[in-house]
Each structure stands twice: as C-alpha cells, then as structure tokens.
C-alpha cells in the first residue's frame, strides 16, 4: 500500500517554473538525488529559518514568501524542493523528504558554518513532516535546533483520514511519534476554520511534546488551511517575532528524559481577526528579483478542498483495505491455532 499512498499523497505542481540559475544552490541527498535550494540572506540576521513548503507547490511558488519572511523578520531563510518537486530529480517519497531536509541542514551547518542554535525549522502542512523529523533527530543527537514553527501541521497522514489511536502500518509522516523527543520550543500556527487538517492536530501535537517546549497553539479565528491571507499576516508575524525573540534559547538540559507522553494541556491562544489589518507582500523589495518574484504574490494553496476530497476518499479506501486484510490474517491465524490445539 505504501507506493499507492505515496502516489495519492504527493502532488507536485504540474507546471514547473524555474528560478534563475544564479539563485539556486544544488544539493545532493544521501539517496543520490539532486534538489534545488535557495539561501536568502539578511545582513542583520542572527537566526536562519529552514523552510519546508506545503504540498502542490514548489520552490519557485514560495520564493516571494521566503523573501518576505526574511525582510519582515530580519532572518536568513533557506528553502528547498522535495525530491520529485519543481526542478529536483527522482520521485516523491516520505524517506526522500527526510533525506532532502538532512541535505539542506548539512549544508547550513557545514558549508555555511551555522550552529544548530542559530537554526529554526519552519514547516507548513506537508512540510511539518520533515521538520518534525529533523527536530526530533537533532534532539536525539544532543544538539537540537533553536526552535520549530509548524503551520497547519498534522499528527500523521492516516490520522487526517481516520481517528486512529496509534501509528498503523503504511502511515506516513508520524509527527505525533516524533513529538515527544523534540527538545526545542515549538510554535503551532493553525486556523480554526481549517477543513483539511483540523486545528485539533496542532493541539494533539502540543500535548505530546515535552512540557518545556510547549507554547499554547496560536489559533487564528476563521482562517482556513491555505496560505496566510493578507489580513492575518500582521498577527502571524508578531507571534513569530515574539517566538524568535523569547523562545529560541531554552536550555535542553531542562527537558525531561525519555518520552514525555501526552498531558492534559488545553489552553490555547486564539487570535480574532482585527477590523483593519491589511499588509501586502512587497514583491519588488529588492532589485534582484527574477520572474518568480516580479509576479504578484498569489495565495499559494496546499490542497484545494475539492482535490483533497478525492485524496481523502482514495486514501480511506486504501486504509480500509489494509485493515480488512489485517483482520482476515488475524482470523486465519487464530483458526489455524485452534485447529492445531485440537
């Protein structure tokens, strides 16, 4: 079922736009695929965001957004494409996404000489998968990144489709299993009107992480799943600035050892939409913009709901098929055991 789920889950854009060659740094992953990346420098930056984009978009689609984040937050930003997305090589797969972010992180720490304490991971929707993986991995290695920002994350792919209590065979991106091992502060950003990934996923992930990492999820009243609309951006930027300033220097020694388990934290920060907040992306902020940045900053979507309906139906059918096979196998095994006992 794994390949079937992957073919349904991963939706690279059909039309690929190319960034200027001078902007792209090509990286090779441990799976021997080449992926494009960009590094947007900010002269006053002390923090670098490693950004993992959502589904159905690629590096060229999010380039304007990355530049906007760099300018507004005074940070460096590094973005990349997953294997099989944009100009990258290969076919998309969960394990490739992990190898992709590993390659980008290695570039930041070895080639650019950044310390983990200078890197904050930022994952949106599908990007929450590789981001949670890397946050957990660096924590296990005893050198966690400075922080983790998750925008519209999920607990796992199957859990988007069905309410299951554990990670099942064939599930993808089990963020809920990575969460207890994360030893850096985590900011969750989620819309209360998200019909694709309900905000309860952020709450469940928050409950699963170590109490030292918990910041009440930032819930935006009325916001859906897709990109942050203009009227919400001041709220989000303010929250991210506060996170970068006050929550990215937590002493890892203060974290509990081993799995943290799930606690009963339920308090959330719910932001209501202000009456007058309208801020546009400055797509012409510098003179070095290419064709990707001269375009209007359109609202890049992760999954249109109509497309997602098809995805959910197909994935649910596959999930039911696996459960039926497991049940049949268990019944057959039990019957065989009883027959042998006689």
Active site residues: 125, 194, 225
Helices (H), 12-77: 59-73
**Rounded CA separation 340/338 (Å):** 5
C-alpha distances (whole Å) from 189 to each of 131, 135, 237 are 14, 17, 11
Tokens in use for 244? 């970068």
In the chain, what is the straight-line distance between the N-terminal and C-terminal CA atoms, in Å?
Answer: 36
Task: Tell me how many degrees the CA angle 229-16-123 measures, rounded to the nearest 5.
Answer: 45
**Rounded CA separation 86/26 (Å):** 13
What residues pair up with 189 in beta bridges, in sequence order? 151, 218
DSSP 8-state symbol, 214: B
Count of Cβ atoms closer than 10 Å to residue 47 Cβ: 20
Strands 76-80 and 34-40: antiparallel
The number of angstroms, rounded, from the C-alpha of 18 to the middle of its chain's C-alpha atoms is 23
**Rounded CA separation 216/311 (Å):** 30
Tokens in use for 335? 């019957």
Tokens in use for 82? 């997953």
């Amino acid at each position: 079922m794994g390949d079937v789920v992957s073919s349904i889950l991963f939706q690279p854009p059909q039309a690929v736009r190319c960034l200027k060659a001078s902007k792209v740094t090509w990286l090779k992953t441990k799976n021997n695929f080449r992926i494009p990346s960009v590094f947007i420098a900010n002269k006053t930056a002390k923090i670098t965001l490693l950004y993992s984009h959502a589904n159905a978009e690629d590096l060229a689609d999010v380039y304007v957004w990355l530049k906007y984040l760099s300018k507004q937050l005074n940070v460096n930003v590094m973005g990349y494409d997953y294997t099989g997305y944009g100009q990258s090589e290969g076919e998309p797969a969960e394990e490739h996404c992990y190898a992709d972010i590993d390659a980008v992180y290695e570039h930041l720490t070895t080639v650019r000489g950044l310390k983990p304490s200078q890197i904050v991971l930022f994952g949106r929707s599908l990007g929450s998968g590789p981001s949670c993986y890397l946050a957990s991995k660096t924590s296990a290695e005893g050198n966690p990144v400075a922080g983790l920002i998750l925008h519209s994350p999920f607990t796992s792919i199957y859990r988007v489709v069905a309410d299951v209590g554990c990670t099942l065979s064939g599930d993808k991106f089990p963020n809920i299993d990575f969460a207890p091992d994360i030893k850096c502060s985590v900011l969750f950003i989620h819309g209360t009107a998200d019909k694709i990934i309900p905000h309860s996923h952020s709450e469940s992930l928050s409950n699963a992480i170590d109490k030292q990492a918990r910041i009440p999820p930032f819930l935006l009243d009325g916001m859906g799943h897709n990109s942050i609309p203009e009227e919400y951006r001041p709220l989000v930027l303010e929250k991210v600035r506060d996170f970068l300033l006050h929550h990215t220097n937590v002493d890892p020694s203060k974290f509990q050892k081993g799995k943290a388990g799930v606690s009963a934290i339920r308090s959330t920060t719910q932001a209501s939409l202000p009456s007058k907040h309208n801020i546009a992306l400055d797509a012409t902020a510098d003179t070095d913009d290419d064709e990707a940045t001269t375009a209007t900053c359109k609202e890049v979507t992760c999954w249109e709901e109509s497309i997602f309906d098809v995805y959910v139906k197909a994935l649910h059918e596959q999930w039911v098929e696996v459960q039926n096979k497991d049940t049949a196998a268990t019944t057959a095994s039990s019957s065989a055991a009883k027959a042998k006992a006689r």
